[in-house]
A and B are shown apart, each in its own frame.
Chain A
Amino acid sequence: MLTLIARRLLQAIPTLWVVATVTFVLLRFAPGGPFDDEKKLPPEIKEQIEAHYGLNQPLYQQYYHFFVNLFKGDLGPSYKYPGWDVQEIIAQSFPVSLELGLWALLIALAIGIPIGTIAALKHNKPAETGLMGVAMIGICLPSFVIGPILLMVFSLHLGWFNPLGWSYASDRVLPAVTLGLFYAAYIARLARSGMLDVMQHDYIRTARAKGLKEQTIVMRHALRTALYPVVAYMGPAAAGLISGSFVVETIFFIPGLGPFFVNAALNRDYTMVMGTVLFYATLIIGFNLLVDIIQMWLNPRTRND
């Protein structure tokens, strides 16, 4: 297993290099530059500013310097926010996104797995249709619809939560639910089909024949295998939850990394785009590796591969 981890980590290096290069090239071919604005800068002042950031050098040199600095662990200064370094911004805002993502993941699992399991056990009964219908709605509704609806009901009308911010424990609830619902619905579907599949297996029939209680069969024997597709989905889901929280962070005014990531591209904040893209790419690779390890642990057959 250790060889596999080592191999995967080595594979990550060329992947990240390709990601960085493609981002670098795309960014420089995008029209407009970081210092363009409604009021145009006098050309000599723009030159001075670009010289400060090394943008007056030939592109290949900028590319080279980027990697030299990257190996030193320096992502450079943000162009949009003078005085702030990219890694400083990531360090300040990522923990917030991470926390939001983890709460959302927890909600997704806590809602998704029971719903999917129950639906599978009530196969072809009205309960299944009802639960899966709800799940389908959850998948179809984007967070920019769910978010404002939850806000309107639970914050503005009922007054249970603050309409925005990230200061109190209760501020976590609405954003995490908004972000988690989509994944909950998807996990419910995966858990259901996994469970349906497992319940046909011979060993379940054997367990039933032994006279075990249905509850024991499900919890002890079926669930572990049934969750296999859910676990496989966890890697992309976790990465998606943590990196894709832009909309939710904007709706609820949460100081996470999402808005920086998106706005950096719009602002042509070159260093910030490179920094956040590489950061997220590393994160996604890391999560996928983690999921592979969990899968191996769940399924002994793959352990020795």
Chain B
Amino acid sequence: MVALLEGLTTLNAKTMAPEPGAAKSWEISEDGLSYTFYLDPNGRWSNGDSVTAQDFLFSFERILTPLLGAPYAYMLYPMRGAEAFNNGELTDFSEVGAYAPDAHTLVLELSTPTPYFLSLLAHNTWWPVHPPTILKHGTMTDRISKWTKAGNFVGNGPFQLTSWKLNNEIYATRNPHYRDPASVQLNGIHFLPINPQAEERSFRKGHLHVSSTVPIHRLDWYREHQPDSLRFDTTLGVYYYMLNTAHGPLADVRVRKALAYCINREKITEHILRAGQQPAYHFTPPNTGGYTAEARLPYDPELARQLLAEAGFPKGKGFPKFELLYNTSESHRALAVAIQQMWKSELGIEIELHNQEWKAYLSTREAGEFDILRASWFGDYDDPNTFLSLGETDNGNNHTNWSSAEYDRLITLAAHTSDIEARKVIFQKAEALLLDEMPVIPLYFYVTSRLIAPSVQGWYPSLLDNHPYQAISLNVEHPTSNAQPQN
């Protein structure tokens, strides 16, 4: 998608700093509440139409209209009135803080100063859609519409959609009307949704330039034979176990801590995962929005045994049987088995492993019918809030039954604090509280592992796994075309 559409700003491939996109320049009012964007007059849709401020207004109204049911509409909430319009309190879109004084000027008004607003604009929820195309294939809020099909789709990005065969291939070629044609170096991109094994074979044969991942059992081979092709990048993702604090002994914070403290995370990352994952001693991945948690949970089996004894289960005696639930997958199982072993040998606690197919697992989780379950979370944007808000009482993704008024207060406070440093201090407090209460056991931070052919230039590490295709080029003639199996 990053190839086909473009927001007001784009992110620099290397530094992730916001740069001009569809907007050539902008002015920010002194109170930080009003942004005036001057659109690039060369901005064109792939059918040749001009990209106008009205197109943006249409797109914002579309995503915020409740009838469309856009899951990520909340990304636009910093805009004044956006939230009220999205939940139906406002019905007139002209009352939302977005205006177009003329075709190439767009004014956005915010409800609170949002220091990361320019970066936010690069997120796909803020991108424009081509109104005539949407209206040709239905109404503004139709979910079931053909406008995304190759041949119908019109975008304003550096590439255009040339063909799309479901589960087979998406082919994007250079958009001749793009505002800055000189910045685009690739002639086309083939996106192939291949499974990891097939993908790796294809890469080995030289048919792919970039893979989406690397099968674990092939890692050592690449480390030995083609270390230049192997790339590990940290990403904003945490793998953790969720504890149901309403179930039996898990209601006791000492038990929760005992379970967390006796897990040897280094052993897990080095011997089971083996792809450079970082052991997680706190919940928010390091360097999320420039924030790294200071609180750490210890690896201390002795302390864990002591805590368990204090909770009334010396050496695990009398500890009721409980279950660890994970969604069916070899890698989740390997991890669960290792942790089952650690809890048995360190604490004398027996657990049963239980796996369910993905949708069944989600439904069990929603119903709260679990003791401990495997979970993961990937940040939507580069800010600790995307992780720490998970612990809020009314967060739809908090299934732990854990609730803390103080924690909720801190997260709300952070949302209303615009000073970057002061916000970080609040998040530090929240994270320390989370680790002290231990409703979740963080295990490791994800990394992306990829195979990248040496001919590929401009593929930079990115926390949000964002790789603008304008930055990418191939420095040698390669007989096959570029392929990258993700969006």
Contacts and interface: CB of A to CB of B under 8 A. Distances in A.
A252 interface: yes
Interface stretch (A17-25, A41-49, A226-234): A41-49
A163 B362 contact: no
Contacts of B167: 93, 255, 259-260
Contacts of A93: 166-168
User: Chain B, interface size: which category?
Assistant: 35 or more
B149 A83 contact: yes
Contacts of B166: 81, 84, 89, 92-93, 255
A36 interface: yes
B366 interface: yes
A37 interface: yes
Contacts of A89: 166
Contacts of B147: 83
A32 interface: yes
Interface in B253-270: none
A89 B204 CA distance: 31
B143 A252 contact: no
A82 B71 contact: no
A30 B68 contact: no
A162 interface: yes
Given A83-B148, A93-B166, A162-B207, A156 B363 contact: no
A253 B336 CA distance: 30
A202 B66 CA distance: 81
Interface residues of A, number: 47
B412 interface: no
A40 B397 contact: yes
Nearest to A251: B198
Contact of A37 (B143, B198, B362): B362
Contacts of B377: 38
A164 interface: yes
Contacts of B143: 49, 52, 82
B364 interface: yes
B198 A156 contact: no
Contacts of A36: 359, 362-363, 366
Nearest to A250: B195
B212 to A, nearest CB: 13
Contacts of A33: 359, 363
Contacts of B359: 30-33, 36, 266-268
Interface string B346-367: 0000000000011111111010
Contacts, number: 115
A206 to B, nearest CB: 57
Contacts of A42: 71, 74, 396
Interface string A263-291: 00011100000000000000000000000
Contacts of B74: 42
Nearest to A166: B168
A39 interface: yes
B418 interface: no
Contacts of A30: 359-360
A77 interface: yes
A45 to B, nearest CB: 5
Interface in B376-424: 376-377, 396-397
Contact of A48 (B67, B165, B204, B376): B67
Nearest to A167: B169
B397 to A, nearest CB: 5
Interface string A229-262: 0000000000000000000001111010001100
Nearest to A263: B167
Interface in A161-177: 162-164
A31 B68 contact: no
B201 A155 contact: yes
Contacts of A251: 197-198
A93 B169 CA distance: 12
Nearest to B193: A253
A82 B68 CA distance: 13
A175 to B, nearest CB: 12
Interface of A: 30-33, 36-49, 51-53, 77, 81-84, 89, 92-93, 148, 151, 155-156, 159, 162-164, 250-253, 255, 259-260, 266-268
5 contacts: A31-B364, A36-B363, A40-B366, A45-B70, A253-B192
Identify the 10 closest CB pairs spanning chains A and B, nearest first. Answer: A32-B359, A48-B69, A255-B168, A31-B363, A163-B201, A32-B363, A40-B396, A31-B360, A49-B69, A36-B362
Given A32-B360, A81-B166, A155-B201, 9 more contacts: A32-B359, A32-B361, A52-B69, A83-B144, A83-B147, A92-B166, A93-B166, A260-B167, A266-B358
